[in-house]
Structure 1
Amino acid sequence: MSPRRVPLLTLLCALALAGSATSARAAAPLTGTRLHEELGRLALSLGVEPVSAPFSKVSVTSFDALMVRQLGASDVAASVQHEAWRAGLTPPPTFGTEAVARLLGLRDNLPYRDDARELYPTDAITLAEAKHSFAVASRWQGGAAEWVRGQFSTFALPRYSTAQRRVLALAISKVGMPYVWGGETDTRGAAYGGQVHGGYDCSGFAWRVFKLSGFSWGTAIHGRTAAQQAGEIQRSARIRLDDVRGGDLVFFGPGRFWMKATEQRIVHEGLALSPDWMVHSSDQGVYVSPLRLDPWRAKRFSWARRVLP
């Protein structure tokens, strides 16, 4: 479903700040005092002043916004936010900062057996999640803003049709939702074998946007997995990357353009914003990723499928 899912606690063992926490303590919300301490340490390592932060618990999205500011990438987030607004996608206020934070790798997924402990964007950030973020931010060694600025320098969205705007506005409104194995709904429920937490896997995200939304265009989609959705069109209808349009389903894996779609050949899926960008559910939850600039996706792009007229 996702190209690779790295367990959060594995990363914490390798990257943790000084001191260890019990699982109960790690799952507790980050306190305002600890937030100030860690922002101060990060700022000192970067040679900048720490940003102002509340002495209270903060949500995932509020924490990500603080981290983006501390890393000097607020201008990038504002530019991304404006471009989505200019394209008529009515982005939520957190879209730009979440796009930047997640492209930098500040978020991560728990192992699938712990999906019930995933965080919604409005949930209080936990100590474990915050420690992961600070560790990743430190690894950038001051280069985060420059790197993400270069990545988003190509973030230019085309003029969309009414159908494209409706579908893609819904898709980007879900940025920040967690990756949940087998997930396809916004809340927990009996779906795909029983969903323990709201969120989506890669094909479940497409299912949520096109099928569960009630969009009429979703009636053409029947299969639930990425391989099924990729394989239920004729080969003559497959689309190459250069011809991708906003709202197309884009598929990835070792499968090549002329091959039959199987679960081994098609392993990931997203919704294209353009030939250069997509929104999908993967290791950072629902987020925005480059298509051609990302080596894995450029090399592993199989084909695309047009659902919208």
Structure 2
Amino acid sequence: MSRRLLACVLHLLAASVAAASAPAAHGATAGTWNLGEQRAVRQAAVMHNLDDAAFHGERPVSGRQLPEALAAFAQRLGVAPVSAPPSTVSALTFDRLLVAQLGAGDVAASVQHEAWRAGLDPPPSFGTEVVARFLGLRENHPFPQEELERYPTEAVTRAQAAHSFAVALQLGAGGAQWARDTFARFTLPRYSAAQKRVLRLAVAKIGMPYIWGGETDGAGSWFGGQEHGGYDCSGFVWRVFKRSGFSWGRQIRGRTAASQAGEIRSSARVALADVRAGDLVFFGPGRFWQKVTERRITHEGIALSKDFMIHASAQGVYVSPLFEESRAKRFSWARRVL
């Protein structure tokens, strides 16, 4: 199977699992939002009901539950299990262990080192979260179920663990190779002082939840109120460039992706081949030559290099390749701010 075909297959698998995990429009709770995935991991004998014969997705993973789940998953992969503590762990620790169990720990370490080498002062979890979220191991609770979101430092729940294991079961051993092939191109340029200041703030937000209208780490926002800390795509850009107080943010006036994309002359639009670190990159059905509308420009991020961006989307704040075919097809143009 070619690498392109493998990537397409894995994308479809991850998307199908993620779709199955989406909360119901009404009645979803912290323990019931992904009953299909809970059933899948039970059937795979990776996770089990508790002593009262109920799954209890709302409870934290504790005791021997995580070591036993990782050992069962490792057996399915035909590899040795990684060592895990027999205690409650944060989502960050859980991601690190599952990425390692998938065989992608070296990819995470390489990404972490490259961000450090480039002077971005990445948090210790950066490499792991880049890989985990690229593979779709985290979940998103769309509006109006955002109260179900949890921060990366909070204890991972059994429902969250079920989602991650369900995705990992679909990816299998191919997930690590997909990540390895993609992030082999994760080479960051020599940054200017301005680029470094902006991108250090951006990478510090890795793993924060996706929240519609979100623009802060905590609750509270001038943009219609924010009940849970996190970011939407334009709110992430707004936080990095505007709420930070950086002088470069004075050029940005609009709050939505479309308004930020439309604040420059058509002649100032930057093509994908010319993107450089710190540029705002815009996506949607809108083409390079077209007039901006809210329907044409639907997403944005911040370029880390000519090949990768950091943005807020279904996996929270995470890193994605700009060269991925599906994303490149939806690229509209970029805007140079720095």
User: Structure 2-normalised TM-score?
Assistant: 0.86
Aligned length: 304
Distance 1:56 1:255, change over 3 A: same
Cα distance, 1:281 vs. partner? 0.4
Which residue of 186, 189, 194 corresponds with 1:163?
A: 194
Cα distance, 1:14 vs. partner? 4.1
Distance 1:150 1:23 in 2: 40
5 Å matches for 1:80-229?
Answer: 80-229=111-260
Q: Partner of 1:276 in structure 2?
A: 307
The alignment partner of 1:271 has SS state of strand
5 Å matches for 1:252-267?
Answer: 252-267=283-298
**Cα shift readout 1:232-267 (whole Å, capped 9, x = no counterpart):** 111111000111110100000000001111110001
Distance 1:123 1:74 in 2: 22
Cα distance, 1:20 vs. partner? 7.5
- Cα-Cα RMSD: 1.9
The alignment partner of 1:63 has SS state of helix
**Cα shift readout 1:43-95 (whole Å, capped 9, x = no counterpart):** 11101121111111111111000001111111111110111111111111110
Q: Partner of 1:17 in structure 2?
A: 41
**Cα shift readout 1:154-203 (whole Å, capped 9, x = no counterpart):** 00011110000000011001001000011001101133211010000000
Letter in 2 for 1:12: N
Q: Does 1:48 align with 2:79?
A: yes
Higher relative contact order (CA 8 A, sep 6+): 1
Deviation larger for 139-148 or 278-287: 139-148
The alignment partner of 1:289 has SS state of strand
Distance 2:168 2:189 in 1: 32
Q: Does 1:301 align with 2:331?
A: yes
Distance 1:34 1:135, change over 3 A: same
Letter in 2 for 1:120: Y
Letter in 2 for 1:112: F
8 Å CA contact 1:8–1:132 kept in 2: the answer is no
5 Å matches for 1:23-34?
Answer: 25-34=56-65
Distance 1:39 1:239, change over 3 A: same
Distance 1:23 1:298 in 2: 44
Identity %: 62
Letter in 2 for 1:26: G
8 Å CA contact 2:23–2:145 kept in 1: the answer is no
Cα distance, 1:111 vs. partner? 2.4
Cα distance, 1:24 vs. partner? 9.7
Letter in 2 for 1:278: M
Q: Partner of 1:239 in structure 2?
A: 270
**Cα shift readout 1:210-238 (whole Å, capped 9, x = no counterpart):** 01111011011111110011011111110
Runs of 5+ unmatched residues, structure 1: none
Cα distance, 1:275 vs. partner? 1.5
Distance 2:54 2:259 in 1: 38
Distance 2:253 2:270 in 1: 19
The alignment partner of 2:212 has SS state of coil
Q: Does 1:67 align with 2:91?
A: no
User: Structure 1-normalised TM-score?
Assistant: 0.94
Cα distance, 1:117 vs. partner? 2.2
Distance 1:14 1:143 in 2: 23
Query: Where has structure 1 moved over 6 Å in runs of 4 or more?
Result: 19-24
Letter in 1 for 2:190: R
8 Å CA contact 1:184–1:191 kept in 2: the answer is no
Distance 1:146 1:24, change over 3 A: closer
